[in-house]
Amino acid sequence: MPTLFERIIAREIPANIEHEDDHCIVIHDVAPAAPVHLLIIPKTVIPRVGEATSDQQAVLGHLLLTAGTVARKLGLARGFRLVINHGPDACETVPHLHIHLLGRRQLTWPPG
């Protein structure tokens, strides 16, 4: 059964798309935790970061480079945070790796 993100990538479910290329899609989170809250989602299904394999290294690197590109595009020069959840204790809700990009407010530490 396709994940929510696979259905968004297939355009079966609408989303506010900020960026898309051959390897990933970047969408606005429907329940934002910051003024800027995007999800960077690989088009290749990787269930979670701890299950990624070395042959997925290029995709993982592309996600981080895309985060920087999108952050610059949105003027997040003062800072932003990237978050990857893995498993139920981290509040993972969709078993499809994605990176949260949060910004445009003062973020606290430690997170969570």
The tokens describing 107, both together, are: 């973020």
Catalytic residue among 23, 37, 62, 98: 98
pLDDT of residue 112: 66
The tokens describing 18, both together, are: 């900020």
Answer yes or no: is 109 within a domain.
no
Percentage of residues of the chain with pLDDT beyond 70: 99
Answer yes or no: is 41 within a domain.
yes
Q: Is 23 a catalytic residue?
A: no
Q: 36-58, pLDDT tens digit by residue?
A: 999 999 999 999 999 999 999 99
Minimum mean pLDDT among 26-35, 84-93, 95-104: which range? 84-93
Percentage of residues of the chain with pLDDT beyond 90: 85
Answer yes or no: is 19 within a domain.
yes
Answer yes or no: is 51 within a domain.
yes
N-term to C-term CA, the chain: 31
Average pLDDT, the chain: 94
The tokens describing 53, both together, are: 């394999």
Give the residue from 101, 96, 72, 71 showing the smallest Cα distance to 86: 96
The CATH number linked to 21 is: 3.30.428.10
What does the angle CA 93 – CA 98 – CA 101 come to, to the nearest 5 degrees? 105
The tokens describing 10, both together, are: 């297939």
25 pLDDT tier (thresholds 50, 70, 90): very high
Residues of the domain holding 28: 4-103
Answer yes or no: is 25 within a domain.
yes
pLDDT of residue 30: 95
